[in-house]
Amino acid sequence: MGPKAIVGLAGALIVVLLVLSTVYIIPETHRGVKLRFGELVQTDIQAGLHFKAPVIDQIREFDVRVLTMDLPSRQYLTVEKKPLDVDSYVAWRIRDVDQYYRATGGDEFRARSLILSRVDNGLRDAFGIRTMHEVVSGQRDELMLQLRDLTNETAGDELGIEIVDVRVKAIEFPGQVSENVYRRMATEREKLAQEFRSRGQELAEGIRADADRQKVVTLANAFAEAEETRGQGDRQAAEIYANAYGTDQEFYSFYRSLQAYRNTFAGKDDIMVIDADSAFMRFLKDPMGAN
C-alpha cells in the first residue's frame, strides 16, 4: 500500500470518527440535556437521533421512568406522644428535565436525598396531628394521598420531580413498647381465656348436675316400675297358688310339707325336738297324711 493510500485511509477514518462524534441517540425511556463547555445550552432532548458539536458538546441522559426508593426506618410521634417505627417508600419520576438538572446537577443521589428530606418532614407532621389508630388503619390512605400532594407542591417546582406515590410498608412499636404491648395483649388474652374456662366449667357443672338429676329420676322410675312389675308378679303368683290350692288341697298340703322338710333338714347335723303328734310330722308318720 502506497503513501497516498495510507493517507487516504487515515483521512477517511478521521471523517468517520468525526461523523460518529456528532451523532448521539437518546433511548425512549430517557431524556437528555446538552452542555457546551459545561454550560447548559439545551434541555429536555426527546428520544431519537440527534446531532452535536464534537468535543465541545456533552450530552447527559436521565431516566424518566417511574423509580422507587425505600426510605430508611424512622420514628415518629403521634398526637398522643406514642412513638412508632415507620418503614415507607416513594415512587417518583423526573417531570421537568431542565429544572431537575438545575436543582440537582443531574446527580440522582442528591435528588434522592432531597426527596427523602421532604417526605420525612411530611410524615413527621402528618403523624404528629393524628392518633395511633388513625395512622395505623383509620386514615392511613388519606394520610398518604395528602402527603403525596403536599410533597408535589414543592418537589415539582423546586426539583422538577413528580412524586407518584408515597406508601407506608410497615408501622411497628419500638422494642420496649412492643414488649409492653405484647405483655398487655398476653394478659388480656389470658384473662379472656380464663373467662372462657370459667364459663366452660360452669356449663360443665350444669350438665353434670342435670345428668345426675336425670339419673336419679331414671333410677326412681325404673325402681317404681320394677316394684310395680314385682307386685303384679306376686299377685299373679298368689292367684296361681290360690287356684292350685283350691283345685287339690291335699296335694298342695303335701307339696308344702315337703318343702318344709327340705328346708328344715338341709344339714346332717340339724336337730329338731318336736311332739310326735304334731301336724308337722303328719306326712313323715303316714305318706297319705292320715291323722
The reply to whether 150 and 107 lie within a common domain is yes
User: Cα separation of 135 and 141, whole Å?
Assistant: 9
Q: Does the residue 223 lie in any domain? A: no
Sheet containing 161-172: give its strands across.
67-77, 83-94, 161-172
Regarding whether 159 and 79 lie in a shared domain, the answer is: yes
Instruction: Report if pTM > 0.85.
Output: no
- Residue 98 sits in the same domain as residue 51: no
Q: With respect to residue 201, please indicate whether it lies within any of the assigned structural domains.
A: no
Number of structural domains (the chain) is: 3
What pLDDT tens digit does each residue of the chain (291 aa) get? 567 666 666 666 665 566 667 888 889 988 888 888 888 888 888 888 888 888 788 888 888 899 999 888 888 888 888 888 888 889 999 988 888 988 888 888 999 998 888 888 888 888 888 888 888 776 777 888 888 888 888 787 788 889 899 888 888 877 655 566 677 778 888 888 888 888 888 889 889 888 989 988 898 899 888 988 888 888 888 788 777 666 766 667 767 777 776 777 666 666 666 665 666 666 655 655 555
CA distance between the termini of the chain: 176
What range does the domain containing 129 cover? 67-172
Q: Which residue, of 17, 34, 63, is where some domain finishes?
A: 63
Cα gap 83→95, rounded to integer Å = 35
Tens-digit pLDDT profile for residues 154-182: 787 788 889 899 888 888 877 655 566 67
Is 67:94 a contact under the CB 8 Å cutoff? no
The domain boundary residue, chosen from 120, 148, 172: 172
Closest CA relative to residue 148, chosen from 130, 161, 134, 137: 161
Q: Does residue 215 belong to any structural domain of this protein?
A: no
Q: For residue range 17-57, what is the model confidence (pLDDT) as tens digits?
A: 666 678 888 899 888 888 888 888 888 888 888 888 887 88
DSSP at 278:
S
> Is residue 165 situated within a structural domain?
yes
- To 5 degrees, how large is the angle CA 52–CA 54–CA 56? 95
Q: Are residues 26 and 112 in the same domain?
A: no
What is the phi/psi pair of residue 78, to 5°? Answer: -80, 180
The letter for the amino acid at 60 is R
